[in-house]
């Protein structure tokens, strides 16, 4: 039903404006992704929200997942519209690579590793990291490392940069 609705929406949007691409962001979740991906037939671009290495799986699985998706839809550009990991500014890890957790090093490493894998996917067209700044989020309870805050920002709630901010800046500057 969702795929049919997206197809209908695409048709309606084209009645008003054919100059814009039509997209749909699907959530990547091993085992369930094919259900969410049904809407890609109606889309001009593939947009995927994925959290390998944070909510599920291992960081190293992201590249294979995205490459498989690109093979299914080789004519459509692939955008990663969400990815990331929580980090508490000031929390550090001395492990290499850092173990999964809320250290600044893990967040920076995860984003660097994700970027490295994405760049090898032939139809990869862009990345949007979730999110620039930590924000108040009532779904995160008092037992969260910073109560009531989503901590995936490259900046903390006071706009102070985390290690991942510098890492992402470096990765993007290499594109110039």
Q: Indicate if the pLDDT at residue 3 is higher than 80.
A: yes
Question: Using one digit for the tens of pLDDT, what is the confidence trace for 115-174?
Answer: 999 999 999 999 999 999 999 999 999 999 999 999 999 999 999 999 999 999 999 898
Is pTM, for the whole model, over 0.85?
Answer: yes
Split at pLDDT 50, 70, 90, the class of 34 is confident
* pLDDT at residue 175 in the model: 83
Split at pLDDT 50, 70, 90, the class of 176 is low
* pLDDT at residue 105 in the model: 98
Higher-confidence residue: 7 or 155? 155
Six-digit token string for 32: 């369930």
d(CA 129, CA 107): 11
Q: Indicate if the pLDDT at residue 104 is higher than 90.
A: yes
Q: What percent of the chain lies above the pLDDT cut of 90?
A: 81
Return the C-alpha torsion angle 127, 31, 71, 108, nearest 10.
Answer: 30
Distance, CA of 92 to chain centre: 23
């Amino acid at each position: 039903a969702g795929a049919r609705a997206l197809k209908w929406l695409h048709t309606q949007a084209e009645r008003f404006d054919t100059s814009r691409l039509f997209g749909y962001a699907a959530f990547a979740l091993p085992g369930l992704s094919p259900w969410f991906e049904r809407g890609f037939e109606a889309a001009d671009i593939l947009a995927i929200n994925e959290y390998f290495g944070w909510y599920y799986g291992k960081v190293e699985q992201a590249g294979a997942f995205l490459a498989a998706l690109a093979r299914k839809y080789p004519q459509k550009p692939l955008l990663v519209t969400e990815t990331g990991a929580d980090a508490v500014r000031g929390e550090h890890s001395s492990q290499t690579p850092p173990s999964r957790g809320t250290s600044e090093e893990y967040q920076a490493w995860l984003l660097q590793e994700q970027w490295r894998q994405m760049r090898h996917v032939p139809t990869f067209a862009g990345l949007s990291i979730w999110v620039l700044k930590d924000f108040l989020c009532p779904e995160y309870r008092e037992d969260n490392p910073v109560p009531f805050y989503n901590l995936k920002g490259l900046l903390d709630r006071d706009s102070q940069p985390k290690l991942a901010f510098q890492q992402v800046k470096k990765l993007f500057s290499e594109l110039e």
